[in-house]
Structure 1
Amino acid sequence: MQYLIADVGGTNTRVALAHDGILQIDSIQRYRNADQLGVAEILIDYLHTHAAGTHPSAVCIDVAGPVGEAQGQLTNLDWTVTTDQLCKASGAQRGAIINDMQAQGLALSHLPAEAFRSVIKGTAQSGNRIVVNVGTGFNSAVVLGDGPKLTVPGSETGHVNLPVPSPEIFELHQYLAGRFGFASAEEVLSGRGLSHVYAFLAKHSSSEALASSQHIIENLDNDPLAVKSIAILLEVFGCVCGNLALTHLPFGGIYLVGGVAQALADHYPGSPFHSAFAAKGRFSEFMSQFSVHLV
C-alpha cells in the first residue's frame, strides 16, 4: 500500500511517500512554510509535481502543535488542518494527524545506533525515554514501553513557566514577562529564544529588531554576547531536561532533536548544560542514571 506522509514544522514541511510502511527516501521534498498557503496546498503540489500518477490509500501528517479529534493546529504558524482536508487534497480514503513529538517518539526505535551522539553518559540502560525538541519551538514527549508497542502521550511542554535556576536567569524571566506578559520555557529554548536571550544581554528595547539565531551562532568567535547567550540557553536547557528526567524517570535515555539542538552540537561538552541538568539538591547523585543523546 502507498502512503503519503508529511512532517509539518513551524518553519518547514517535509513530504514523502511510504510503501508498505517503508519510507521512500528519494521521495522526500521540503517546502518552506512562509511560501505556502497551507498543508493541503503543499500536498496537492507535491502529488502534482513530484509524484504524478500516485494514488495514496492513506495520508498521515504530524504537526508542531496541539492535535484534537481529526484536527491539528500549529503553535507558531497560523495554520489549522483537518483529516477531511488531507483526504480531499490527496485522494486518500483515510487520514490521520498526530503531534510532531509523538512522531519523534515513535520513530526512536527505528533509528540505528549511529544516529545518536552522546551528550551525557548515564548508568541506566533501559526504560522509558523522552524526546526533547528545540527548533522553531520547544516541546517534549515521553515514550512509554519498548519494542513495537509504544505509547507516546501528547504534550505542550514549551508553554510551562520558565525555570529560574540562577539570579541572572531570574532577571531574564522578568525581562521576558515584561515583554510578552508571560515567560515560558519556549521563549528561551527555541530559535527566537536565543534571540531573546541576546536582546536581554544587550539591553535592547522591545522596539529594536532581534538578531537571528543563525547570526548569533555564526558570530561566536567575535561576539562575547553571543557566547554568553549560548551559555544561558544551555543552562536553561539542562535545567529543563533535568526537571523532565525527574518527572518521567526516563532510564532509557533523553533524546535531543530539532534544528537548534543540532546547531549546538559542538557546544554541549563543558557547558552549563551538564551542571544545570544534575543540580537537583539531594537528588543530584540520582541524576547520574540518566543518559542524554543528540539525534
Structure 2
Amino acid sequence: MRKLIVTGDIGGTNARLAIFDATDSDDVCAQPCVHRTSYRNEQFSRFHDVLDTFVQEARAHLNDASFYIAAMCLAVAGPVVADRVSFTNRQQWILDANELRDAFHIDRVRFLNDFVSNGYGLLTLREPDECYVLQRGEPSAGEPKACVGAGTGLGECYLTACAQPDVSGQGSTVWHYEAHATEGGHVDFAPITELELELLQYLRNKFGDSGHRVSVERVVSGRGLVNIYEFLREKYPEKVQPSIDKSILESNDGAATIARYVYECGLCAQAMRMMMDIYGTECGNAALKYLPFSGLYIAGGIAPKNLEWLQEGKSDFLKRFREKGRVSTILRRIPVKVVLAEDLGLRGAHVVAARMASDTFPPTSATAGALKHPRRWYETRAILMEHTERIVYFTGLLGVLASCAYTGASVCWWYFRRTRPA
C-alpha cells in the first residue's frame, strides 16, 4: 500500500496543496510529487471542502484507491493556537487538526505558521542554484540559521540544530534543524539618518491610534514601501510626476507599481533605496539576536524581485547590515544569502510532513478498506455521540455501584454498632 503525505500552503486568497509519495523513502528530496494543484478560497465555504476535492482528484489522478495518507502539514497565514487556526478574512474557515485527522483518516496532522514553514524550507535549498550570495562570511556547520523576509508583511524566524548519529556509517555529523517562530517584524522602527527620523514622525502621525509606536514592518514590507513613497511625495512635492503618482495611489499593489517605475521616477527610486537601507539595518539586528553563523537567509517576495537594490552601489543594504559599532566584526562572519525559490513555504511543510510520516506505519488489511472514502462530518458526529453515550452509561453504572457499596458499608456499620457488646 502506498504511503502518501499531503502538504499545503494556505493563504488568505489561495490554497496550494500537493501530495508526495513517501512509500520508498523518508528523504524529502527522494519523494516524488504525484499530484499538485491550487484552489481559490472564495469558491469554498469550508476548508474541509477544499481538502475533500483535492483528495478525490488525487484518487482519480493516481487511479489507486488503496493509498493511505500518513501525515499532513499545512503552512497557514495566521496564528496556530491549540492545533486550531481561524482565518480573519474568512470567518467560516476554522481548521482543526483533530477534526481533519478523523474526517480524512490521516495519521498525523500539523499546522505551521507560514514563516516558520519558510524556515524549514531552507533545509531543502540547492544553494548554488537557488540562492544569491550577498556576503560569503565564514559558515559554520551546526550553528543557528535565521530567515528574514519582506513581502506583504515582514516575517522572521530562526533555526537551531542538534547533532544526530550518522546511520550511513561515513562518520560525519548529521545536524537536525528545528525552526522557531518569532514576531521580529513587529519590533520598533529605529531610524538612523535625519530623513528617517522625519519618516518616523510622519508615520507616528499617520498611525497615531497605535500609541505613536511604529513597527519596522510599517517600513520594510510592500505596504511599507508605499508608506515611504507617500512620505517623500509630501516632503518633496516638486519631484512628484503626476501620471506616475496617480498610478501608484490608485493601484491595488502600490509597491509593485513603485518598483516598476524606479528607473523613471526619482521619488520611486529614493523610496526603494530608503527601504532597502532600513531593510539592511533590520537584517543586521536579526543577525545580532540569533548569531546565525550557518547563514542569514533573505526570503519573501521583495528581495528576489529587486535583487540589484540589495547590492552595493544601488543602496547601503550591506553597509547598514554591518554597521553595528563594537560588534560590527561579528556580522562580517555571517553568510548572507537571498532565496530565489518561490515555493519555500510548501517545501517547509513537506519537510515537517515527511518527518511525521517516518514514524507512522501502514494500516492493516482489516482497516485498509475504510480508507477508500473520507469520513463525512455527519459520520464523525455520529461516532462522537456514540462514544459520549458509552461514557455516560459507564459513568452512571459506576455511580450505581458506588452507591450500592456505600449503602452496604453503612448497613454493616449500623449492624456492628447494634450487636457490639456494651
TM-score in same-fold range (> 0.5):
yes
* Consecutive unaligned residues in structure 1, runs of 5 or more: none
SS at match of 1:214: helix
Note the alpha carbon deviations across 1:148-169, whole angstroms, 9 max, x for none.
5222221111211122122222
User: Residue 225 of structure 2 contacts residue 272 of structure 2 at CA under 8 Å; is this kept in 1?
Assistant: yes
Does residue 223 (structure 1) correspond to residue 265 (structure 2)? The answer is: yes
User: Residue 72 of structure 1 contacts residue 81 of structure 1 at CA under 8 Å; is this kept in 2?
Assistant: yes
1:200-211 alignment runs, 5 A limit: 200-203=231-234
Larger Rg: 2
Instruction: Give distance in 1, aligned partners of 2:136 and 2:85.
Output: 36
Match of 2:55 in 1: 47
Structure with the largest fraction of helix: 2
Instruction: Give distance in 2, aligned partners of 1:190 and 1:73.
Output: 24
Q: 1:225 to 1:273 in 2, by over 3 A?
A: same
Match of 2:111 in 1: 97
How many residue pairs match? The answer is: 292
Alignment equivalent of 2:36, drawn from 17, 23, 28: 28
Range that drifts further, 251-260 or 99-108: 99-108
- RMSD of the TM alignment (CA)? 2.8
The percentage of aligned residue pairs carrying the same residue is: 28
Deviation at 1:227, TM superposition (A): 0.7
Deviation at 1:97, TM superposition (A): 0.6
SS at match of 2:293: coil
Deviation at 1:234, TM superposition (A): 0.7
Note the alpha carbon deviations across 1:197-247, whole angstroms, 9 max, x for none.
21221229xxx6566111111111211111111111111111111011111
Instruction: Give distance in 1, aligned partners of 2:75 and 2:122.
Output: 15
Does residue 151 (structure 1) correspond to residue 167 (structure 2)? The answer is: no
2:281 alignment partner AA: C
The TM-score with structure 2 as length reference comes to 0.62
Alignment equivalent of 1:250, drawn from 292, 310, 323: 292
Q: 1:218 to 1:243 in 2, by over 3 A?
A: same
Does residue 120 (structure 1) correspond to residue 135 (structure 2)? The answer is: yes
Instruction: Give distance in 2, aligned partners of 1:134 and 1:51.
Output: 37
1:166 alignment partner AA: T
Deviation at 1:77, TM superposition (A): 7.5
2:321 alignment partner AA: F
SS at match of 1:96: strand
* Consecutive unaligned residues in structure 2, runs of 5 or more: 163-173, 236-248, 340-422
Instruction: Give distance in 2, aligned partners of 1:10 and 1:133.
Output: 18
User: Residue 66 of structure 1 contacts residue 75 of structure 1 at CA under 8 Å; is this kept in 2?
Assistant: no
Alignment equivalent of 1:185, drawn from 212, 216, 235: 216
